[in-house]
Chain A
Amino acid sequence: MIRIIIQYSVLKTLIIVFVLLVLSNQNNDMLYGNETGKNLNETSEDAINIIFTGEENGYLEPCGCSEKELGGLSKRHSLINLLREKDANWILLSLGDIPGKVGRQDEIKMETALKALGRMGYAAHNIGEKDISMGLDLLGYLSQISSVDFVSSNIVNPGPQILRIKPYIVKEIKIKGATRKVGILGIVSPELIDNGYQKIEVVDPIESLEPLISKLIDKTDLLILLSHAEIGDSIKIAENYPEFDLIISGHGIDEPGLHIAKVKDTYVIPVGEKGKYLGTITMQPEFSRTDEDRPSTNSNLPSVEIISLDERFGDSTEIKMLLKIYQQRLRDEELLTQVFKTELPSNLSFIGNDDCAACHNKIFKHWKETGHASAYETLVKAEHEYDPECIECHVIGLNYFTGFETIESTPELKGVGCESCHGPGSAHKETQSKDYGKIDAVDCTTCHENEHSPSFEFNEYWQQIIHPLEEK
């Protein structure tokens, strides 16, 4: 290159210098500003295209009782199908933490979600701390029956057991007739592991990654780390290992677009929470590390897109079916009857709407016409009436003794009734005390929170349920 420039005249050299400087500046602008402007219709045929998601935290789908809810596996599948129409070569990666908590419902959720990831064609699921907290036995069963590889580069498998984990995978894709190899590693931060949990050893990722990177660097064209860690820890890994082209990360970050970082040439990108977003990155390896005959190509800067899974995307029939089976399993295993109930304070009990109507008939009649009265039917329509997580906000007192149990045993407690907002009415029924049931606007947000009621505006919603004055 230098030899060629010296042969030119000064004028030509000046022009070249100018062009080089202009090109350099253009590249920098792209580094800062091109992260969210990618057109979904544009994919690059000679690039490696990655889709990344994770940290579902137990959210398989929006509850379906409100409009404008983001996320869900079936919308995700529809978007993936759309992206595949443009390029079949997407590599799909999952960062970890499918369940939100432990217990049978989240076990079924995890099995359902892994099945969905398998149907979508995910290449790898990195193990997060919430996946581990489900117990190694369950994780082991799922690793055996899942078509998605479980990856972890820093979990030490303690002795013979059924949990199948790979320290890395190498995914091969064809680009313009040539094979490109993408190395995918995964870690979980030891800081996130419950320190009382003795059944698994999670080692320092900086230690565990070094030998794996040495092994893979010359055998792959692109190295990707699924880093289930807080973003600061992932940035440290990027600083230690510039060999990574991309680190997918984040923990507890719900708006991924705001926290994209770049460490030297490594992008560190969070996935967001609760399955609301799908991230894509299109990368063109600067040169082939695995194919000596293939000449170097001009490197284009990666294009990152964080896509909200909103109403633009319909539901995938295939995933909808899995979610329907999930609901059927909740019913078959009678999880509603296993809801943990506690006692109400001061020996109070729920009495049901009909008892309230005896004195507050005008209010009761008005209530019958509101959405609160038909809240249980709304859930039936959405086919979620056997889902303990959903039903809590559609009946009276699910988590307490004397509250809702099943529609057969406690039909009088269905819907968002008087006591859903005002509390158990047994004492008030006896004493007609005036100080019963005072509530605040903030109490509405127990159920009308942003995840399940994104359109909620107190003033507007209050007008829909405001009680008429009682006749004296």
Chain B
Amino acid sequence: MNKPYFTTILLFMVTVCQFIMYVELQGAEAVPGNDKDSDINVSAQGPAIFFEKPDFNFGKIFKGQKIEHIYEFENRGKDVLNIGKVKPSCGCTAAILTNNTIPPGETGAIKATFNSSTLSGNVTKSISVISNDPEHPSYKLSISGEIIEEVSIKPKNIDFGSVPLGEKRNKTVTIKSQTTPDFKIKKIISSKPFINVSMAEEKDGEYVISIALEHNPEIGRFSGGIYLETNSQRQKKVTIPFFGEMVGDITTYPKKIYYGFVTKGKELTHKLFVKINKDNIKILDIKTSPDYVSAEIVEEGEKDDHHYLIEVTLHAEAIAGKIGGLLELHTNSMIQPVVIIPLMGEIEEG
């Protein structure tokens, strides 16, 4: 065989080898964390924990259902396997071990109970098995699946958005059960007196609930919940959160500026966002106290995006002690001629 041919064949072989390796790496590869499928521990000198099926998928269940599963394992090593602890990753899973000490060649089991009452959607939770296996001191088991809400709520949260002072808002929520044919809502309560809640419609177990913001709270953000009691076996109690903000001519965020404990001599700046909700409203003047605090408008938006961005700086000259300052926005608004932002914090000696 002459040299050029031989070289060509070798190059071809190299290309084939590289191609095979490339093909092997295609597609989604799970990068193993436990070497679960490896048999490297079969004849290990020390203890060797081995789970045939470390991953359990419960498929689809309804929220509130509990799932039990037993993970069986074997000591494939030559010394006694001691399980120190079985540690679920979340409060939703409880795990009980049958026996802490497993002689070589013997088997053990971990009973896991998964409670879905606080979860929804696809979840993957894990359980760590802490043992004296030198190769796998913390073996990871997984429990996964999809949790479906038996009581379907649309929308899940009620966002009233920004509500001008004096205005009312109405929202509706549709509620039905995916399994209970004679689904009933037995009780509805609002957590806030300014939110009225009533049953607007009921047809074939599908309820439409009317949630009305009627009696105005004061300017500022508000939140709460609509509490329902149902005849669903799995979701007897359901809460629908609501939130929003009563706004005047001017909205500020945040309402207070907290500097916390600041070392004397340090300068610290916070941003204050001011949204103008009504045409022709403007900031006429900004005053700050004490004098080691200053405020500067660094951005001003107009028309549909009428806002100010103000930097409020605590300067290095601040004296030790509580700040207790104020930022005053003087405006041409009739209802909010002066908006006061308290400045909180304390200057500490360095």
Contact = CB atoms under 8 A, between A and B. Distances in A.
Given A21-B17, A258-B140, A340-B239, A263 B121 contact: no
Contacts of A17: 10, 13-14
Contacts of A142: 253
B91 A261 contact: no
Nearest to B247: A137
Nearest to A107: B221
A251 B121 contact: yes
A104 B223 contact: yes
B7 A13 contact: yes
A24 B126 contact: no
A255 interface: yes
A450 B258 contact: no
Contact of A450 (B4, B88, B123, B344): B88
Interface residues of A, number: 78
Contact of A111 (B13, B174, B254): B254
The secondary structure that dominates the B interface is strand
B223 A102 contact: yes
Given A17-B10, A259-B124, A254 B89 contact: yes
A135 B18 contact: no
Given A194-B156, A340-B227, A10 B126 contact: no
B28 A268 contact: yes
Contacts of A254: 89-90, 124-126
A18 to B, nearest CB: 10
Contacts of A35: 31
A303 to B, nearest CB: 12
B243 A103 contact: yes
Interface in A316-353: 321-322, 324-325, 328-329, 332, 338, 340, 342
B21 interface: yes
B161 interface: yes
A5 interface: yes
Interface string B271-308: 11101000000000000000000000000000111010
B58 interface: no
B261 interface: yes
A144 B224 CA distance: 25
Interface in A376-399: none
B341 interface: no
Contacts of B350: none
Contacts of A199: 159, 161
Interface in A454-468: 454
A340 B226 CA distance: 9
Given A6-B7, A261-B31, A449 B140 contact: no
A352 to B, nearest CB: 25
B241 A102 contact: yes
A101 B157 CA distance: 10
Interface string A78-108: 0000000000000000000000011110010
Contacts of A32: 31-32
Contacts of A421: none
A251 B243 CA distance: 25
A160 interface: yes
A20 B14 contact: yes
Contacts of B260: 321-322, 324-325
Contacts of A263: 27-29
Given A262-B28, A264-B26, A454 B258 contact: no
Contacts of B13: 17
Contact of A102 (B122, B157, B272): B157
Contact of B94 (A36, A239, A442): A442
Interface in A1-51: 2, 5-6, 9-10, 13-14, 17, 20-21, 24, 28, 31-32, 35-36
Interface string B215-233: 0000001011101000000
Contacts of B93: 450
B30 interface: yes
B154 interface: yes
A363 interface: no
A226 B305 CA distance: 29
Nearest to A266: B28
A358 interface: no
B241 A454 contact: no
A10 B6 contact: yes
A259 B261 contact: no
Interface in A134-189: 134-138, 141-142, 144-145, 159-162
B191 interface: yes
A5 B159 contact: no
A102 B87 contact: no
A243 interface: no
Contact of A252 (B14, B123, B161, B270): B123
Nearest to B119: A252
Contact of B241 (A101, A111, A338): A101
Given A102-B223, A340-B224, A450-B89, A261 B28 contact: yes
A230 interface: yes
B178 interface: no
A195 interface: yes
Contacts of B161: 135-137, 199
Nearest to B91: A449
Given A160-B303, A194-B155, 12 more contacts: A2-B11, A13-B6, A17-B10, A28-B25, A101-B241, A102-B157, A197-B159, A251-B121, A252-B123, A255-B140, A258-B126, A262-B31
12 contacts: A107-B223, A111-B254, A144-B271, A145-B272, A197-B155, A251-B122, A252-B119, A252-B121, A253-B124, A261-B30, A262-B25, A262-B31
Interface of B: 3-4, 6-7, 10-11, 13-14, 17-18, 21, 24-34, 87-91, 93-94, 119, 121-126, 140, 142, 153-157, 159, 161-162, 173-174, 189, 191, 221, 223-225, 227, 237, 239, 241, 243-245, 253-254, 256, 258, 260-261, 270-273, 275, 303-305, 307, 309, 344
List the 7 closest A-B pairs by CB distance, nearest first: A196-B155, A449-B91, A160-B304, A141-B253, A255-B126, A196-B154, A145-B271
